[in-house]
Amino acid sequence: MSVSQVVSPVRTGDASGDRIQRYSLGERVNHWIGGLFYIYCLVTGLGFWSPYMFWMVVLVGGGPAARFWHPWLGLVFFASVCWMCKLWFRDMVITPEDRAWHAAIDHYIRNEDEDLPPIWRFNWGQKIFFWLMFYGAILLLISGCGLWWVESIPWSLRWLRYLSVTVHVTAALATIGGFIIHVYMGTAMVRGGFTSIIRGEVSAAWAKTHHRLWYEQVRKGTAGRE
């Protein structure tokens, strides 16, 4: 993996006196394209979902504009997920270390991080979120096409219209569940995480605490998880 490398090892201001690059510029740009367009589709989609949230659609330009842009910008979101998959696919494979970490997830929830087994660049929860968004985006794209061109689905195949609605709603709700936890953890719960996806860097202590195996691998300067 070429994206994990030590940068400016002499910079000070944190526990161990250096900072580690966690996300490359490309990864950060990719993340924020995905995030921005997901939020657009979330806001407009919630407006279409419930009359009690239709005001959200009004905030972003009104119903017809939202209906026009929702599928197109949804495509941009899907493209960003494809790009993300290209960048992170290998990092997101669930490993035996992740399974051990998952078995001890109660400690993570209770902030007893010292009792957790060491893990690589991403933890089990991040990987599950990635795959949730990956499969969610595929389902949203396919079912979204059914909703986009609903009239083109012949009457004899109208079960496809109903299936599109069901899949789109279910997949959207599942990603929203992941999104709530993702935003909470990225901003409030795991301090340093939000900065890392903006500036790309974390402290060595942060890396050591949350991603010990990745930290050691970066320290050794080796590329690749294996």
Partner 1 sequence: MSQATLAIRRISGHAGPAPGAGVERAEQVCKLVDTTTCIGCKACEVACLEWNGYAFSQTTFNNSYQTMPTTSWNYWNLIKFNEHEREDGALMLLMRKDQCMHCAEPGCLAACPADGAIVQYTNGIVDFQQQNCIGCGYCVSGCPFDIPKFNSNTKKMFKCTLCSDRVSEGLEPACIKSCPTGCLHFGTKDDMTFLAEKRAQQLRENFGMEKAGVYDPQGVGGTGVIYVLHDVSNPEAYGGLPKDPYIPWVVQFWKGPAKWIGNLAMLGGIIGVTLHYLRFGPKQVNGWKHKEGGKP
Contacting positions for partner 1 (CB under 8 A)? 14-16, 47-52, 54, 57, 63-64, 66-68, 109-111, 113-114, 147, 150-151, 155, 158, 161-166, 169, 173, 176-177, 180-181, 184, 188-192, 203-206, 208-210
Shortest distance in whole angstroms from residue 100 CB to partner 1: 19
Cα–Cα distance between 79 and 176 in angstroms, integer? 19
User: Would you list the DSSP string of 193-208?
Assistant: HHHHHHH-EEEHHHHH
Shortest distance in whole angstroms from residue 218 CB to partner 1: 16
Q: 139 and 171 in contact (C-beta within 8 Å)?
A: yes
User: Would you list the DSSP string of 112-137?
Assistant: -GGGSPP--SS-HHHHHHHHHHHHHH
Shortest distance in whole angstroms from residue 91 CB to partner 1: 21
The nearer residue to partner 1, 26 or 177, going by C-beta atoms, is 177
Q: Left if phi > 0, otherwise alpha if psi is -120 to 50, otherwise beta: which for 47?
A: alpha
How many residues can be counted in the chain? 226
The nearer residue to partner 1, 2 or 111, going by C-beta atoms, is 111
The nearer residue to partner 1, 67 or 102, going by C-beta atoms, is 67
Shortest distance in whole angstroms from residue 23 CB to partner 1: 18
**Three-class SS state of 14:** coil
- Within 8 A by CB and 6+ apart from 117, the residues are 97, 100, 101, 104
Shortest distance in whole angstroms from residue 21 CB to partner 1: 17
Shortest distance in whole angstroms from residue 26 CB to partner 1: 26
The nearer residue to partner 1, 94 or 150, going by C-beta atoms, is 150
**Three-class SS state of 61:** coil
The nearer residue to partner 1, 103 or 106, going by C-beta atoms, is 106
Cα–Cα distance between 212 and 123 in angstroms, integer? 11
The nearer residue to partner 1, 8 or 16, going by C-beta atoms, is 16
